[in-house]
Structure 1
Amino acid sequence: MKTIMVLIGLALALGGGYLIGVSRHEHEPAVPEAGQEAAKVQYTCSMHPFILRDAPGACPICGMALTPVKAASSGGVQKWRSPMDPTYVRDVPGKDYMGHDLVPVQEGGAASEGIRIDPVTLQNMGVRTEKVAKRRLQRTIRTVGLVTVADDRQFSVNAKIEGWVERLHVNQQGQPVKKGQPLLEIYSPELVAAQQEYLLAVANRGRLAASPFPEIAAGAGRLVEAARTRLRYWDISPEQIRTLERSGQVLKTLTLFSEQGGVVTSKKVVAGARIMAGEELLQIADLSTVWVNADIYEYELPWVKVGQAVQVELPLASGKVIDGTIAYLYPTLENETRTVKARIEVANPGLELKPAMFANVSITAGVAEETLAIPMTALLHSGKGQTVFVALGEGRFAPRNVKSGVRDESGAIQILSGLSEGESVVVSAQFMLDSESRLREALDKMLSPKTEGETPSPPGPGPATKPDEPGKAPSGNKPDAKALDDLFK
């Protein structure tokens, strides 16, 4: 009887184990071999990499043709993730909690090799590249200038003595004046007295010239020289003084002569008027050379330097061009126009350039030597810097930060750092590449695995974290908040 009971117990134990094994085998999901999963080809959208299909077709979001997922150049796979939930990551292939096949995350990720786009997609996007080359940059700055009188060529005629204007030899504003030409005649009692003193000093010197005492003769000579100097300080010409000495006759009026040539730009006196010492009578300007003050905007200042050649065009003179030179750049900025004044010196022998006239100014500037340059369309501007996309070959592109310089009129911009000669940069559709790069970078941040042995601490007091339940996403691989912000910017 005991033997029968033992046999029955063994049979029940073997049957129960078989049923438990069958039940466990039916409920556990089959894990496919790595080789079989790696050989399976899936299709994705180059603009929306989270779209994955088992067969070719069109992207449900943008309508672009799906392209096959290519394996990494090294042939290895780092992780496997869910196509519907990027936070669901496993070390081996299989299915996610929703029943979708896990897709491989290639070794290195988007951060190490930029982004990879299928050639057909590149053609549909219209991506074009150009080589980084050395060239000579040139730019022609066109602006408007205002003709003014040169400050160092303006003169004022003043009376150094009180008196009356007996006669005006120059009686019109705008009248041309030559150097040494008589301007006006002045009657002044002080001038009459000074002439008499001079004649007395000359006569006294003649009487004492034969004195046996040399000191007396020298004193008479010094007295004559003092009287002559007094007349000279009142702008009496040496010729008038010699005439006075030869004739011995005191003149009622003495003439003032112009010490500079030019044009009378201001006349403040009339014949018969009484004048005071220090009063301005006339203003004379030499217009043989004039200034043209041109407005240069802030962004054009790197191209403008002192000594550059300038072409000044007169709009009312049938397009006549006059050559000039930049003589000075003013150190201050005009607050209203945000411009800097450039002083241009222009020869004006025919007096075609008149003060207060507007003129068109052209400044041809260039970089001193050849420099690295790329098309302006290749540059992406952001609040923090400038970026270009470099073509790495085989459909791969990587963003790179650069520092730029001046921009010429042909659309090329100088590159100071960040690129080397011969590299290829994207010059069209780079905004789409920028979107793709940001998306893949954000996904790469979210998919970064935790270090082995690292246990995330709970956000606050409470019970310990429970293990993952069947049918729910794992709790140990949460997406990064900053990465999500970058993804949806």
Structure 2
Amino acid sequence: NVVTTKIDGWVDHLYVKATGDPIRRGQNLLSLYSPELVTTQEEYLLALKNFRTLQKSAVPEYREGARRLLAAARQRLRYWDIPDSQIARLEQTGEVKKTLTLISPVNGIVTKRLVTQGMFVKAGMPALEVADLSTIWVDADIYQYELPWIKVGQPVTMTLDYLPGQTFRGRIDYIYPYLKESTRTAKVRLRFPNPDLRLKPEMFAQVKIESPVSRQAVVVPADAVLDTGLKQHVFIALGQGRFEPREVKLGVFGDHGLREVLSGLKGGEEVVTSAQFMLDSESRFREAVQMMMPGMEGGGKTEEKPAAMPGMKMEEKPGAAPAMPPGHKH
């Protein structure tokens, strides 16, 4: 709540000493001296005197004119947020007050003090900011693919590093209708009760929104997914030591380390949950070797002489015995 004034004037007295001061609803915040306010009060007293004089007039037009003039003067004072109780006191005493006192609209804490005593302020200029911290808002960022599972009114839990072991419970209050261009995340406003004021503005927190993904959904362990940054794959176990890589489209995270699969996988298929990086490395190695082999570009095949494996000798065809060295006799 921003406290402003609707008339120009000077700060005559400042009741708030510093930011952070607790205040109550209806408590005095500052008094403002305004020559225009003094003039308007004097005009109201003249209109009141004129109305009382012409109230017994035999001419109806005079009585109606005096009544309208008084109503207009009273409405002008109300436009400046002068309460009816103060207007009634002005009618009873006839004393013009030189200052206008601004009061707090809520219970809370003074978060900003933008004026000093003796300062000139213009109409509409913010003088103080008062925050009711008994209920706080928390802004959280969520990914865009999680938006279908987020609804206003959902329960949320929050934890903070400076209060270990304590959990705060609240609800989703508002979902902003736009995304951040840099992160592609949506902002969600959460509401938490804060009766003992343990939660402070500008704190960092961790929030958890629990939402049922779907009654029937295909899920895989998160460890079974190979994420390259652009695509996600899983390996399907075909049996007899054979595996097939399969590109999948993933959804939201679930409980117990599960991940929703939107497409690319059917329920009941077996996936590899360990050693996927070994399978992935081997498949990429074979693909690279095939691309580097000669004669593979046009799709033709060439017959090659098998190479000897390390530690083995290839069998040779029998031939003529080598000649004996010269001078050798049996």
Shorter-chain TM-score bucket reads 0.7 to 0.9
Work out whether 1:179 is the aligned partner of 2:25: yes
User: Relative to structure 1, is the Cα distance of residues 346 and 380 closer, same or farther in structure 2, using a 3 angstrom cutoff?
Assistant: closer
User: Relative to structure 1, is the Cα distance of residues 313 and 433 closer, same or farther in structure 2, using a 3 angstrom cutoff?
Assistant: closer
Letter in 1 for 2:235: V
* Residues in 2 aligned to 1:291 and 1:217: alpha-carbon distance in whole angstroms: 55
Which of 236, 240, 265 matches 2:86? 240
RMSD: 3.6
Query: CA contact under 8 A between 1:171 and 1:270: conserved in structure 2?
Result: no
* Residues in 2 aligned to 1:434 and 1:357: alpha-carbon distance in whole angstroms: 44
User: Relative to structure 1, is the Cα distance of residues 253 and 311 closer, same or farther in structure 2, using a 3 angstrom cutoff?
Assistant: same
User: Relative to structure 1, is the Cα distance of residues 402 and 213 closer, same or farther in structure 2, using a 3 angstrom cutoff?
Assistant: same
* Residues in 1 aligned to 2:144 and 2:126: alpha-carbon distance in whole angstroms: 44
Q: Report how many aligned residue pairs link the two structures.
A: 293
By how many angstroms is 1:300 displaced? 7.2
Which of 34, 37, 54 matches 1:208? 54
Work out whether 1:162 is the aligned partner of 2:8: yes
Query: CA contact under 8 A between 1:328 and 1:342: conserved in structure 2?
Result: yes
1:358-391 deviations in Å (ceiling 9; x for gaps): 2232333441313222334555667777353243
Work out whether 1:268 is the aligned partner of 2:268: no
Residue pairs, 1:288-307, within 5 angstroms = 288-296=134-142, 298=143, 301=146, 305-307=150-152
By how many angstroms is 1:320 displaced? 2.2
Query: CA contact under 8 A between 2:157 and 2:207: conserved in structure 1?
Result: yes
* Residues in 2 aligned to 1:365 and 1:355: alpha-carbon distance in whole angstroms: 27
**TM-score under structure 2 length normalisation:** 0.73
* Residues in 1 aligned to 2:185 and 2:31: alpha-carbon distance in whole angstroms: 48
Query: CA contact under 8 A between 1:185 and 1:255: conserved in structure 2?
Result: yes
By how many angstroms is 1:157 displaced? 1.9
Percent identity among equivalent residues? 40
SS of the aligned residue for 1:410 comes to: helix
By how many angstroms is 1:438 displaced? 9.9
* Residues in 1 aligned to 2:273 and 2:213: alpha-carbon distance in whole angstroms: 23
Query: CA contact under 8 A between 1:389 and 1:425: conserved in structure 2?
Result: yes
1:262-302 deviations in Å (ceiling 9; x for gaps): 22111122333333333322121222222222344x48746
Please name the residue that 2:316 is paired with.
none
Letter in 1 for 2:297: A
* Residues in 1 aligned to 2:163 and 2:285: alpha-carbon distance in whole angstroms: 58
* Residues in 1 aligned to 2:184 and 2:283: alpha-carbon distance in whole angstroms: 39
Work out whether 1:389 is the aligned partner of 2:205: no
Work out whether 1:285 is the aligned partner of 2:123: no
Higher relative contact order (CA 8 A, sep 6+): 1
Letter in 2 for 1:391: L
Work out whether 1:481 is the aligned partner of 2:297: yes
| Structure 2: gaps spanning 5 or more residues | 302-330
* Residues in 1 aligned to 2:150 and 2:231: alpha-carbon distance in whole angstroms: 30
Which of 120, 137, 159 matches 1:313? 159
- Further displaced range: 431-440 or 160-169: 431-440
Which of 179, 199, 214 matches 1:353? 199
Letter in 2 for 1:363: I
Letter in 1 for 2:78: R
Please name the residue that 1:332 is paired with.
179
Query: CA contact under 8 A between 1:381 and 1:387: conserved in structure 2?
Result: no
* Residues in 1 aligned to 2:92 and 2:232: alpha-carbon distance in whole angstroms: 85
Letter in 1 for 2:150: K
Work out whether 1:404 is the aligned partner of 2:266: no
Query: CA contact under 8 A between 1:294 and 1:344: conserved in structure 2?
Result: yes
* Residues in 2 aligned to 1:257 and 1:385: alpha-carbon distance in whole angstroms: 60
* Residues in 2 aligned to 1:282 and 1:437: alpha-carbon distance in whole angstroms: 66
SS of the aligned residue for 1:481 comes to: coil
* Residues in 1 aligned to 2:56 and 2:144: alpha-carbon distance in whole angstroms: 80
SS of the aligned residue for 1:358 comes to: coil
* Residues in 1 aligned to 2:196 and 2:7: alpha-carbon distance in whole angstroms: 37
Query: CA contact under 8 A between 1:400 and 1:418: conserved in structure 2?
Result: no
Work out whether 1:367 is the aligned partner of 2:213: yes
Please name the residue that 1:142 is paired with.
none
User: Relative to structure 1, is the Cα distance of residues 318 and 437 closer, same or farther in structure 2, using a 3 angstrom cutoff?
Assistant: closer
1:140-166 deviations in Å (ceiling 9; x for gaps): xxxxxxxxxxxxxxx222232233332
By how many angstroms is 1:479 displaced? 6.4
SS of the aligned residue for 2:165 comes to: coil
1:1-48 deviations in Å (ceiling 9; x for gaps): xxxxxxxxxxxxxxxxxxxxxxxxxxxxxxxxxxxxxxxxxxxxxxxx
1:389-444 deviations in Å (ceiling 9; x for gaps): 2436xx3746374533234353433333444433434445565599589979x99x
Please name the residue that 1:193 is paired with.
39
Please name the residue that 1:226 is paired with.
72
1:329-371 deviations in Å (ceiling 9; x for gaps): 4422263x67544322222222211112222323334413132
Letter in 1 for 2:52: G
By how many angstroms is 1:241 displaced? 0.3
| Structure 1: gaps spanning 5 or more residues | 1-154, 444-477
1:109-131 deviations in Å (ceiling 9; x for gaps): xxxxxxxxxxxxxxxxxxxxxxx
Letter in 2 for 1:213: V
Query: CA contact under 8 A between 1:376 and 1:412: conserved in structure 2?
Result: yes
1:158-194 deviations in Å (ceiling 9; x for gaps): 2322333322233332222222222222222222221
Query: CA contact under 8 A between 2:149 and 2:212: conserved in structure 1?
Result: no
SS of the aligned residue for 1:166 comes to: strand
